[in-house]
Amino acid sequence: MTNFLLAIVAFLLAHVIPPAPPVRARLIALLGRPVYLFAYSFLSILLLVWIIVAARSAPLIYLWYPAPWQALVPVIAMPFAFWFIAAGLAAQNRLSISFRRSGEMGSQGSITAITRHPVLVGFLIWSLAHIPPNGDVVSLILFGGTGLLALAGIPVLDRRARRRLSEAEWAIVRAQTSVVPFLALIEGRARLRADRDFWLWTGFGLVLYIWFLLQGHLLLIGVDPMAWL
């Protein structure tokens, strides 16, 4: 359990200290933006691997025991998580986490009409969907902590975007996007103009989900998500 808690603390610190505006600005000035992003992503992956390895070796203390119906929750929810994460990372987005953050406001990717923070929404869905079938203490810390981190990141990224944009640009962003998925579309404040990249990465997210469901989860995590069905 000690190794797992140390991994969680290290992961949280890595997502609090380097992204802090003064630290982040200093690191980007020192390393350059591409090197900083690569190093930060690599560090996050290493810490995530540490968490997974430590969680698998930690003692099981159940608060509730798994039941077959609970396994259906991530099976149903995870296609949406994969979709938001894949499409969000690939889409042009000056407002949130993305591999493509340059460009003008008008060049925002299609997924931002659904939510301006698609990657964080994807991780929130992932974390919440894995709580019902994992009623042990370690899993609750892992998935609950990830969900809280995703939620906490939304106002942080909004504040950063507001500092970068003019007041007029931020007013347009607030009027034409929403944090809650599909809310701006339902209220008529946004229109979904699905481009080629949107459909390409939607398909990629679906293919990745199917592979993970049938083979990837067992191969990488050591648990068959279909075993309880």
93-113 pLDDT, tens digit per residue, is: 888 888 776 555 555 778 989
Both 32 and 98 in one domain: the answer is no
Residues whose CB is less than 8 angstroms from the CB of residue 175 and which lie 6 or more positions away in sequence, other chains included: 189
Question: How many beta carbons lie within 10 A of that of residue 14, not counting itself?
Answer: 16
Please tell me the distance from the alpha carbon of residue 112 to that of residue 103, in angstroms, as a whole number: 14
Both 142 and 31 in one domain: the answer is no
Per-residue 3-state assignment (H helix, E strand, C coil) for 148-186? HHHHHHHHHHHHHHHHHCCHHHHHHHHHHCCCCCCHHHH
User: Which helix (DSSP H) or strand (DSSP E) does residue 24 occupy?
Assistant: helix 21-31
Both 4 and 95 in one domain: the answer is no
Considering the entire predicted model, what is its pTM?
Answer: 0.84
Both 101 and 30 in one domain: the answer is no
Both 112 and 21 in one domain: the answer is no
Look at residue 104 in the predicted model and tell me its pLDDT. Answer: 52
Look at residue 80 in the predicted model and tell me its pLDDT. Answer: 95
Look at residue 229 in the predicted model and tell me its pLDDT. Answer: 64
Both 217 and 131 in one domain: the answer is yes
Domains held by the chain: number: 2
Residues whose CB is less than 8 angstroms from the CB of residue 25 and which lie 6 or more positions away in sequence, other chains included: none
The range of the structural domain enclosing residue 183 comes to: 62-221
Please tell me the distance from the alpha carbon of residue 23 to that of residue 17, in angstroms, as a whole number: 7
Both 42 and 106 in one domain: the answer is no
Is position 182 within any domain? Answer: yes
Both 107 and 38 in one domain: the answer is no
Both 35 and 70 in one domain: the answer is no
Residue stretches of the chain with pLDDT short of 50? none
Both 179 and 97 in one domain: the answer is yes
Is position 227 within any domain? Answer: no
Both 153 and 94 in one domain: the answer is yes
- Single residue among 59, 74, 93 that ends a domain in this structure: 59
